[in-house]
Structure 1
Amino acid sequence: MFCKNCGAKIADKSAFCSICGAKQDNINLVKTGVNESTDEEIYQEDLKKKKKRLLILGAVIAIFAAGVFCVNNSITAGPQIGFSTKLQAILGDAEAEYKIANSLHGAEKFMWLEKSASKGHADAQAELGYCYYSGEGAVKDFKEALKWFQRAADNGSVYGQFRMGWAYSNGEGVAKDQKLAVSWYKKAADNGNTAAMNNLAVCYANGEGVAKDTKKSFELYQEASEKGNLLSTLNLARAYELGEGTNIDKKKAFELYKKVASKDSTLYSDEDKEYVARGIYNVGKMYFWGNGVEKNYEEAVKYFNLAKNQGNMDALCGLGIAYYFGQGVPVDREQGKKLVREASERGHARAKSLLKLM
């Protein structure tokens, strides 16, 4: 048959044209074997089925959306945590629980770390140990911290290995044992932990728990520094400055101090911010004494001020000396004494001695 509207050939018994969609007048009867139905009735029946399917699909979508809403709102997490991670955490996935913990702080972080750590997640165990160590979300408890550090280390956590070394080195939660500290630091350092490399270097430099070896110490500082550890870069600079494990090279020392000083401290942890401030102070110190760079009191004062503003007590003391003797600034003995006194009151040992001479 042909469409009454566009003339296109369409299937017999069709109520509508498949080309232009026009309704056909010549409705024929369709033999069903039992009843006879018109094309209009068939069309309406198909329409009902389509509506039913759409309603079912809509209901499924609504239920899914409600589920997403409930999951998203039932878990507090950082903005980087998506629905799938939250859903996995609800289902008890340790990795998802650990990810959520790392997006939080305080008690909420501690709660999720506990969940993940109890399932054997090594990194969560190490982080949980640090919560007990630092008191974040929990009461400080060095013994409990050590327990979790040990579990983490046994499960292969490099951070856990480093923390075991730290605990034995400082006698926190366990009797102080420098040999065991060195053993744990070696394990963590061999696994690439730069903080462990630095602390192991300190052990070699001082002969603590291991035979003194300044050359080995220098090499470890160098390796950790190359991998971005700021404290190791400062210690490497000091080694060049004093000739510990290497030849004296004050120019190289100045370059390394300036490398640390140039870092944007806002991008670092509080601990690393302190190292940046220390780097800034040391640049000022090198300018002040003319070590590795031409002596320049004005530059020294500039760097002392920058470091002082970041909380460095050495810089506060150095600035006091500059004012007291008028080096880089006009002589102002009262201001000089005031600055050194402030450093002394805040626990700076050298400032206490200097104050007696002013």
Structure 2
Amino acid sequence: MHDIQKILSERTWEYDYDDSEIDDIIWSEIAASQSMGDFICYLVHNLSHAKHRAEAQARTTTSVDDDPSPVFYPLAIERIHALAQSGNATAMFHMGKIHALGIATERNLQAAIGWYQQATDQGDIRASCNLGWLYQSGDGLEANKEKAFRLLSIGAENGMVVAQASVGMMLLTGDGCSRDIAAGLQRLEQAFEAGYLNAGNHLSDLFFAGVHVPRDVELGHEWLLRVAQKGDARSMAILGHHLVSGSRGKQDYETGMKLFAAALSNGFVTAHLWLGSLYRDGHGVERDLEQAAFWYEQGAEAGDINCALALANLQATAAETENKLQ
């Protein structure tokens, strides 16, 4: 369900947690740094309510030393470590995160697990969730679905919407718990309503595929539309692709193209690639290599490397075909 690296760094608790003490420690050490690496580490660390995010972003492009190796961040980590050893649960959580992501240090999941466990014992909800995801994935330790379910349930009960979705999926599959379809669907819907839009994508996928629930194409489309209407550009493009291609049992070219346009206007550059491939392969539209090239070129100009590669392959194939005809 989740990529563990993404989960460990995802900003899913910004509204609930105050990392100002950790933020102040880090910035006091790196503020005068000329090393790009220190500011990259700050951005990767992704503190809740980080006060210096915009400045750090700017400093990654203006630093005198463009070496990505941090210079002063390790000093901040030493101070966070000392704070954690004094019993500060927030600092314990951050020591876990630093080791889990390898921020200004070698990635060390055993150390991360130890710190997350200490923070969990002190009642830190974020640590409980991250530890739960590690037990769920078996990344760095032996997978333990039952323990993962217990830890993630703590997060879900304390307003962690991603944990709520994880618990929902575990209830649907029976991983680490008794299978309960109704409760699993309810958890996913609650996570969506609380702001975790990807829970709606999970529901859409479940109904489209008929996995753990009866297949229901209408409900699949309905959930994907609900996510798109919340402003999720990727979901706009996914629904657009389904409607143009007819790949999910319903075809509506006009609405599909409008959704693609909305996705592009909201910054989902990959929509260029999907449009180009529809025209290249003739899925739901008449095969048109000129249109395919147009969309690939638009995406390449917007910085999408996959569009650039697709355009190059399309041009190479066209040249090869032309040579054979001569």
TM-score, with normalisation over the residues of structure 2?
0.58
Offset, 1:233: 2.1
Is 2:278–2:292's contact at 8 Å kept on the other side of the alignment? no
Residues in 1 aligned to 2:245 and 2:199: alpha-carbon distance in whole angstroms: 23
Is 1:131–1:145's contact at 8 Å kept on the other side of the alignment? yes
Alignment of 1:47-66 (within 5 A): none
Change (3 A) 1:318 1:168: farther
Q: Which residue of 1 aligns with 2:179?
A: 212
Alignment of 1:95-114 (within 5 A): 103=52, 107=73, 110-111=77-78, 113-114=80-81
Q: Return the letter of the residue paired with 1:169.
A: Q
Q: Which residue of 1 aligns with 2:153?
A: 186
Q: Highest Rg: 1 or 2?
A: 1
Select the residue among 69, 72, 75 that pairs with 2:28. 75
Offset, 1:75: 2.8
Q: Return the letter of the residue paired with 1:75.
A: S
Residues in 2 aligned to 1:109 and 1:277: alpha-carbon distance in whole angstroms: 37
Q: Choose between structure 1 and 2 for higher RCO, CA contacts under 8 A separated by at least 6 residues.
A: 2
Gaps of 5+ in 1: 1-70, 79-97, 265-275, 347-358
Question: Alignment partner of 1:208: what SS?
Answer: coil
Q: Which residue of 1 aligns with 2:67?
A: none
Percent identity for Structure 1 against Structure 2: 19
| 1:231-255 deviation digits (Å, cap 9, x = unpaired) | 2122133345456676766555434
State yes or no: 1:199 paired with 2:166: yes
Q: Which residue of 1 aligns with 2:268?
A: 310
Q: Which residue of 2 aligns with 1:281?
A: 237
| 1:161-198 deviation digits (Å, cap 9, x = unpaired) | 11111111111221112122112112222222111111
Residues in 2 aligned to 1:333 and 1:176: alpha-carbon distance in whole angstroms: 50
Q: Which residue of 2 aligns with 1:124?
A: 91
Q: Which residue of 1 aligns with 2:123?
A: 156
Residues in 1 aligned to 2:223 and 2:79: alpha-carbon distance in whole angstroms: 40
Q: Return the letter of the residue paired with 1:331.
A: D
Change (3 A) 1:219 1:101: closer
Change (3 A) 1:124 1:253: farther
Q: Which residue of 2 aligns with 1:143?
A: 110
Change (3 A) 1:101 1:230: closer
State yes or no: 1:176 paired with 2:143: yes
Residues in 2 aligned to 1:99 and 1:186: alpha-carbon distance in whole angstroms: 22
Is 1:217–1:245's contact at 8 Å kept on the other side of the alignment? no
Offset, 1:158: 0.8
Is 2:92–2:116's contact at 8 Å kept on the other side of the alignment? yes
Change (3 A) 1:76 1:279: same
Alignment of 1:243-254 (within 5 A): 250-254=217-221
Change (3 A) 1:325 1:218: same
Q: Return the letter of the residue paired with 1:233.
A: G
Is 1:251–1:292's contact at 8 Å kept on the other side of the alignment? no
Change (3 A) 1:191 1:251: same
Q: In angstroms, what is the RMSD of aligned CA positions?
A: 4.2
Residues in 2 aligned to 1:316 and 1:179: alpha-carbon distance in whole angstroms: 41
Gaps of 5+ in 2: 1-23, 32-46, 57-69, 297-305, 311-326
Is 2:164–2:187's contact at 8 Å kept on the other side of the alignment? yes
Residues in 2 aligned to 1:291 and 1:324: alpha-carbon distance in whole angstroms: 13
Change (3 A) 1:334 1:254: closer
TM-score, with normalisation over the residues of structure 1?
0.54
